[in-house]
Chain A
Amino acid sequence: MIRFAAVRLLQAIPVLFGVITITFILIHSAPGGPFSADKAVPPEVLMALEEKYDLNLPLWQQYFGYLEDLISGDFGPSFKYPGRNVSELIASAFPTTAELALYSMIVAIVIGLFAGVVAAMRPNSVQDYAPMSLAMIGICMPSFLLGPLLVLIFGIYLEWLPISGWNSLPGDKILPAITLGTGYAAYIARLTRGGMLDILSQDYIRTARAKGLSEIVIVCKHGLRGGLIPVVAFLGPAFAGMLGGSFVVETIFNIPGLGRFYVQAAFNRDYTMILGTTIFFAALIVSFNLISDILAMWMNPKLRQKDLGDEK
């Protein structure tokens, strides 16, 4: 397993390098620069600004300069927020996004697993169709619709929960977590159902039943471990997706997370910020994919066996 992880980590290096290079080329090819503004920028000011941020240098020099800084752990200064470093901005906003993603993941897992298991226990019945139909609605309903709906019902009409902010009022994390988590809950529900249906028809489950074990023990102890393998494989990319795709939820609920920086940076042509956040998210995706692969291997004896076989 260690060799597997080491190989995957080595493979991540060219992936990240490719991400940096492609992003660098793309952002510099986009029309408009970081300092173009509604009001004309005097040429001498533009020159001073370009000099300060090395934009007056040939592109290849800028590229290698950036790589050099990056190796020493410096993401560079933000063009949009003078005086702030990209690393500092990421460090200030990421904990919020991570917290939001974590709560959303809890929502997604609790709802998704329960719905999936319930559906799998009585396939092709109302008990199956009802949660799966809800799951389909959850997949189809975009967060920019669900968020305002929840806000209207629980924030404005019932006045139960705050409608915006983060860490400012008690309960202000509930609606964003549900909004972001619901879509993923729906995916998890469908994956759980599929995985469980497959497992519950296995011989060892029939054996367990024959031994007179209770249904809850069969499902929770013997069924879930095998049935959840597709879900575990999904969780890594899903968590990374929540981190990178929280922009809409952050905007609806006015949450000071990294998603807003990520999207605003592109609109502002804040080159270093775009590169910094892209590299950061790319690294996260690579890491979460690796973690979910390791987990899947740990849960699935067949995969473990294959890896051991390879090592021999």
Chain B
Amino acid sequence: MPIKTNSKIYRLFFLILHGIYLCVLPGCETPPTNVELGNKTGVLHWGNGTEPQSLDPHIATGVPEHHVISALMEGLVLKDSQTLEPTSGIAERWDISEDQLVYTFHLRSNAKWSNGDTLNAHDFVWSWWRALQPRLGNLYAYMYFPIKNARAYYNGDVNDFKEVGVKAVDDLTLQVMLENPTPYFLQLLDHYSTFPVHQETVEKFGSADERGTRWTYEGNMVSNGPFKLKKWAINQEIVVEKNPQYYDEKNVKLNEIVYYPIENGITEERMFRAGQLHYTNDVPIDKVETYRATNDPALRIHPYLGTYYYRINTRVPHLKDRRVRRALALTIDRESLTKNILKGGQIPAYAMTPPDTKGYFPPNKLEFNPLEAKRLMTLAGYPDGKNFPETEILYNTNEGHRKVAVAIQQMWKIHLNIDVRLTNQEWKVYLDSESNGDYEISRAGWIGDYVDPNNFLDMFICGGGNNRTGWCSKEYDKLILQEAPRKESDQNRFAIFREAEEILIDEMPVIPIYTYTSKNLVHSSLKNFNPNILNQASYKDLFLSDDID
């Protein structure tokens, strides 16, 4: 049975191998990469995290959706990508009444939809009416609530939309009346949930308040931004191309943007290295060290408007005592955690609101102080951790969260001599446990929707949907809901917020741990990319060039 090495079988095998080699060889000739080709043709290749659920601005939630929608659509105002100050968008200019309750927007006469229709003030009134229809399921309806009667209309207390504080004075003038002076109101108008939609197109594919019709599909969508939708291949790519009807078309430098839904950070990083992407949505933490070691300028780390924190369930008997909660917060060595465990440039957080949020600096009432913590535990009846029940930290299954929880478990053991049990749950199970109050301590994160302390502090009002700690303070509510909104200047408002945040830190229903950072890989050919705390790019300003700065 033995066969000789020069037998026909072997010859056949080598013939097949040779054939495969010849077939594969043409593919092996290195073609130009996406980046090389894109730099010549003005096509930006953008890593975009996950597949967007929807491109309807009144339904979408999430960062990947935001990236695509902000290329396709534009609201009344834009943000300067460096300073984040409001600049003119569809509204060329605006007037604010002295009492800061009436905003009058003067729209551009040359603003158009991508099909050539004129964009006017009535489009905004209709779009905002649509966004406030509960049947549509808009999770960002609350962005409209500073507008007079918007909340009441949404809740069904007011039935006539005419009573809501928005009206088209004429085709090019939109007037908005507010409930209270809201200094951050202009910022909300840059959020996609307040963008206008093309009525005729929406209604062509279903009723205005029908969720998930096909008006946002490729070939159907009409938009008003610097780009328009060219292709949407699910889980593959979304391509947007320059919109020739855009009022500032001549200043839009990119011809196309290709958004790739890449959920795996390691794959995304490899694609960047292989020249398939100009920009990555994230950088795996293990790779950050490597890029740092080589001083690679592609690595961009920048503070991000978000806080990583632990919620404490104040309904649990041994966590009802604020002294216990403070003791737990005082024994987390945040400097060591960010430097030795996280290693991604995160900033230790000693308050809920990230520092310098629109010029607001939170009170400095928290520190790493194990001695004080021990004293508080003794006062609470747990000297040296005696009789303190084993406590659980709940987190959603993720290696990063586990590392933080393990470190904190160690810190509490060393400094307070208490036992902590770690429990991880799959994302939806974890959300279910947290919202049902079925936890003791749970990890959480909050990313700001707009740059204002209000966005971080109003979630802890009594019974607030995002509070979930069971904590309630009438005094805190009064400051956030009644006093702060009535202040006309940021200075006075911030003083109120500091007062409220002092209560929050003193009562400690949440333990702030660190301020997030955004981590991206940015190719040197991508110009005019300005990092900011919202990690938002202004696509109309970006351009590609092989020139070295």
Contacts and interface: CB of A to CB of B under 8 A. Distances in A.
A213 to B, nearest CB: 12
A98 interface: no
B517 interface: no
Nearest to B5: A127
A89 B212 CA distance: 14
A12 interface: no
A311 B415 CA distance: 80
Nearest to B10: A118
Given A42-B141, A174-B27, A216-B9, A261 B235 contact: yes
A8 interface: no
Nearest to B13: A114
Interface stretch (A156-164, A181-189, A289-297): A156-164
B302 to A, nearest CB: 22
B265 to A, nearest CB: 11
B170 to A, nearest CB: 34
A93 B51 CA distance: 14
B27 A45 contact: no
A83 B466 contact: no
Nearest to A164: B271
B95 interface: no
A80 interface: yes
Given A32-B429, A42-B465, A171 B28 contact: yes
Interface stretch (A33-41, A54-62, A234-242, A300-308): A33-41
A216 B28 contact: no
B548 interface: no
Interface string A148-170: 10010001100111111110011
Contact of B270 (A110, A156, A174, A251): A156
B250 interface: no
A254 B27 contact: no
A25 B263 CA distance: 29
B7 interface: yes
Contacts of A310: none
A156 B274 contact: yes
Q: Tell me what chain A mostly uses at the interface: helix, strand, loop, or mixed.
A: loop
A82 B428 contact: no
Contacts of A33: 428, 432
A194 interface: no
Contacts, number: 169
B293 interface: no
- How many A residues are at the interface, by size bracket? 35 or more
B428 A31 contact: yes
B56 interface: yes
A45 B431 CA distance: 17
A260 B235 contact: yes
B435 interface: yes
Contacts of B30: 159-160
A110 to B, nearest CB: 7
Interface in A123-158: 125, 148, 151, 155-156
Interface in B404-451: 426-433, 435, 445
B297 interface: no
Contact of B274 (A38, A162, A252): A162
A256 interface: yes
A48 B8 contact: no
Contacts of A122: 1-3
B138 to A, nearest CB: 7
A216 B7 contact: yes
Contacts of A117: 9
B400 interface: no
A166 B270 contact: no
Contact of A110 (B16, B233, B235): B16
A163 B134 CA distance: 45
A267 B27 contact: no
Contacts of B54: 81-83
Interface string B451-483: 000000000000011101000000000000000
Contacts of A284: none
Given A37-B61, A252-B264, A267-B428, A83 B214 contact: yes
Interface string B44-83: 0000000101101001010000000000000000000000
Given A31-B429, A162-B274, A200-B1, A251 B263 contact: yes
B93 interface: no
Contacts of A93: 234-235
B317 interface: no
B486 interface: no
B1 A121 contact: yes
Nearest to B426: A267
Given A93-B235, A267-B426, 5 more contacts: A83-B54, A84-B234, A174-B24, A174-B27, A257-B235
29 contacts: A31-B428, A31-B433, A32-B430, A39-B465, A40-B465, A40-B466, A41-B139, A44-B154, A45-B138, A77-B212, A83-B212, A93-B234, A110-B16, A118-B9, A121-B1, A121-B9, A156-B273, A159-B30, A163-B274, A164-B276, A170-B27, A214-B8, A215-B3, A216-B8, A216-B12, A251-B263, A253-B267, A254-B264, A267-B426
